[in-house]
């Protein structure tokens, strides 16, 4: 079987979801998967970015990260999304990316993608779970196979116990308040394992 292909697609204003995505990438590379780390296009007006020091700094620091193309979803066997909450919902930047996938969806090319999601918010209960659910709702419409973390590893308890996907809260300086690196690594290895079972199973039919 050819190598499993994983696309990690994120949006981040101030770096949290970029960090979560990088931890996922490291874990995926350790198990020999072909990985793409991709950001969705920034849609906010330059004046908004300029007005927030942390946002501006992160925006400039990640200029070289490739922007996710629609074909990246077609390329990938498995997808990890990482997004900050926006009032309990997806950031518009990620929503726009999903909305543009209508063409691929119409060709049946979103079916059976193996998907998992991560999130962050400023408060410990600021909408992380709901944000992951909002993304998973779209994934159901895609015919994707959602892989939640459940309580499949001790690291999930230590990370705050979100069974839908790893999530974290950040203080006003952007520092993560829970230790979630191990949970991200577990989530990544779990989705890879399940995606391999599915890919191998399909290949053997």
Ligand X SMILES: Cc1cc2nc3c(=O)[nH]c(=O)nc-3n(C[C@H](O)[C@H](O)[C@H](O)COP(=O)(O)O)c2cc1C
Report the interface residues with ligand X, using CB under 6 A: 12-17, 84-88, 120-123, 126-127, 170, 174
Q: Which is nearer to ligand X, 112 or 122 (CB)?
A: 122
**C-alpha of 205 from chain center:** 30
Whole-angstrom distance, CA of residue 42 vs CA of residue 133: 22
Q: Other C-beta atoms within 10 Å of 92: how many?
A: 14
CB of 107 to ligand X, least distance (A): 31
CB of 35 to ligand X, least distance (A): 19
Q: Which is nearer to ligand X, 85 or 138 (CB)?
A: 85
Whole-angstrom distance, CA of residue 175 vs CA of residue 15: 10
Q: Which is nearer to ligand X, 84 or 148 (CB)?
A: 84
Q: Which is nearer to ligand X, 85 or 110 (CB)?
A: 85
What are the tokens at 172?
Answer: 């006003």
CB of 18 to ligand X, least distance (A): 6
CB of 5 to ligand X, least distance (A): 24
Return the SS3 of 167: strand
Residue nearest to ligand X (CB): 126
Whole-angstrom distance, CA of residue 192 vs CA of residue 31: 9
**C-alpha of 82 from chain center:** 3
């Amino acid at each position: 079987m050819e190598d499993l292909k994983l696309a990690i697609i994120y949006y981040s204003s101030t770096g949290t979801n970029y960090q979560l995505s990088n931890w996922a990438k490291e874990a995926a590379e350790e198990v020999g998967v072909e990985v793409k780390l991709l950001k969705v296009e920034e849609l906010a007006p330059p004046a908004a970015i300029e007005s927030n020091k942390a946002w501006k700094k992160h925006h400039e620091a990640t200029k070289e990260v490739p922007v996710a193309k629609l074909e990246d979803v077609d390329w990938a066997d498995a997808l990890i999304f990482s997004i900050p909450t926006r009032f309990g919902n997806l950031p518009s930047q990620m929503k726009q990316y999903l909305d543009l996938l209508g063409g691929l969806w119409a060709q049946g090319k979103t079916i059976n993608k193996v998907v998992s999601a991560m999130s962050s918010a400023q408060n410990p209960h600021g909408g992380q779970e709901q944000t992951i659910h909002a993304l998973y709702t779209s994934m159901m419409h895609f015919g994707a196979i959602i892989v939640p973390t459940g309580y499949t590893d001790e690291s999930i308890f230590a990370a705050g116990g979100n069974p839908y996907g790893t999530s974290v809260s950040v203080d006003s300086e952007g520092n993560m308040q829970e230790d979630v690196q191990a949970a991200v690594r577990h989530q990544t290895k779990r989705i890879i394992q399940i995606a391999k079972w599915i890919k191998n199973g399909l290949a053997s039919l």
